């Protein structure tokens, strides 16, 4: 069978069928969110569609806008949990009537939550670099907005620098007994949403203590006393 015959047969078969003039990649995932340690699975395929078809698309019974043959669905969840989507697509048939296709999808909404932890100690020390890790589930770390204030939310001498979940807090002087790290994120639609905050105590680094044997010295050390202490310690 030559190429011309194949082409003619193909055209005759599709003459009364749907016409497609565009293709797009589609990622169909079992869930729109996973936690660490959980496997993310998705079917990836190439979908053909008619950008000029007068189709109607409904999600959970509500009509959604269609642009160039593609339905545009948007929703802003107000509570955490799994959201199920019942989809129905109505497409006019070339010979008259309509073809109805149905499908299902789901996505998960999380409540605002940021994990803020001091990597070294549970408190911040004046004059030291205090490492801090921050993570927000489902948000790219490059979209974190982090700042540090005093416990009541006002200005503080403490500073926080870093990016993408890794930060260092530096405190020049102890003007506040406690400071608070606040975390927000920039969403895909440009909005900024608060994700949480955590309060940390601020302490001075303890004064150094010098001991020689069983004797503790404060301030400057007299050489004669040091020799006596060393001698007494060697005889014990």
Computed on alpha carbons and rounded to an integer, the radius of gyration of the chain in Å comes to 33
Which CATH code, of 2.40.40.20, 3.30.70.20, 2.60.40.10, 3.40.190.10, is assigned to 114-203?
Answer: 2.60.40.10
**Beta-sheet strands, E only, within 93-212:** 98-109, 114-118, 124-125, 129-136, 144-150, 159-163, 166-170, 178-186, 192-203, 210-212
Count of C-beta atoms within a 10 Å radius of residue 170? 17
| Residue-level pLDDT at 54 | 83
Q: Helix, strand, or coil here: 42?
A: strand
Query: What's the average pLDDT block by block, 10 residues per block, for the chain (236 residues)?
Result: 44 55 82 68 84 88 90 86 90 83 84 89 94 90 95 92 96 92 89 92 84 65 62 52
| Residue-level pLDDT at 223 | 67
Which CATH code, of 1.10.10, 1.20.1740, 2.60.40, 3.30.2420, is assigned to 17-109?
Answer: 2.60.40
| Residue-level pLDDT at 123 | 94
What is this structure's pTM?
A: 0.58
């Amino acid at each position: 069978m030559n190429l011309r015959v194949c082409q003619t047969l193909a055209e005759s078969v599709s003459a009364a069928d749907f016409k497609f003039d565009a293709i797009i990649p589609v990622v169909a995932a079992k869930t729109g969110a996973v936690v660490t340690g959980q496997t993310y699975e998705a079917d990836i395929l190439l979908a053909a569609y008619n950008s000029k078809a007068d189709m109607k698309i409904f999600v959970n019974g509500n009509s959604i806008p269609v642009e160039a043959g593609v339905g545009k669905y948007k929703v802003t969840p107000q509570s955490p949990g799994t959201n199920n989507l019942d989809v129905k697509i109505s497409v006019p048939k070339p010979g008259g009537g309509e073809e109805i296709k149905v499908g299902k999808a789901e996505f998960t909404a999380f409540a605002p939550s940021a994990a803020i932890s001091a990597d070294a100690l549970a408190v911040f020390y004046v004059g030291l670099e205090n490492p801090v890790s921050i993570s927000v589930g489902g948000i790219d770390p490059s979209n974190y907005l982090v700042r540090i204030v005093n416990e009541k939310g006002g200005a503080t001498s403490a500073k926080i620098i870093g990016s993408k979940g890794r930060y260092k807090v530096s405190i020049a002087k102890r003007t506040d007994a406690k400071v608070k790290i606040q975390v927000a994120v920039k969403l895909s639609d440009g909005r900024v949403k608060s994700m949480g905050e955590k309060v940390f105590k601020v302490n001075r680094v303890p004064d150094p203590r010098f001991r020689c044997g069983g004797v503790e010295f404060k301030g400057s050390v007299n050489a004669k006393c040091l020799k006596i202490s060393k001698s007494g310690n060697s005889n014990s």
